Amino acid sequence: MKYTVMINEGPYQHQSSDTALQFVRAALEKGHEIFRVFFYHDGVNNGTRLSVPPADDRLLQKEWSELGLEHGLDLVICIAAAQRRGLMDESEAKRQGLDADNIIEGFRISGLGQLIEGGIQSDRTIVFGD
């Protein structure tokens, strides 16, 4: 089965991001395809490289990055939601006249069309978070 996964919550707001991460891992282990993981609303915070949680907490952003790189996952951050929350990749930061970017390796910024395409190309779209 081919899945698109949508994540609407930040890594430390609720359990949604961690549950989605575990779902994607399990689906890959069972031989399913993950067409795309789309981060929307506060879920875009899963793609920042500047988060520093307490030492006894997991760095979910790094776990998403590593999983994406290991499996060639398309980890897409919604551009509108990202801009509202101060997340920029290098090209978007330059376009906006900013002097820094903060997207962790393996993620990319794009628009809602990527979510629509995922829904069309996949057998199922699974949403984590409100």
* Closest to 127 measured CA to CA, from 14, 37, 22: 37
* Residue 5, beta-bridge partner list: 37, 126
Rounded Cα–Cα distance for residues 109 and 104 (Å): 11
78 has catalytic annotation = yes
The active-site residue, picked from 76, 78, 81, 115, is 78
The 3 state secondary structure assigned to 10-68 is CCCCCCHHHHHHHHHHHHHHCCCEEEEEEECHHHHHHHECCCCCCCCCCCHHHHHHHHH
Vertex 26, ends 19 and 9: CA angle to 5°? 20
Q: What is the set of active-site residues?
A: 78
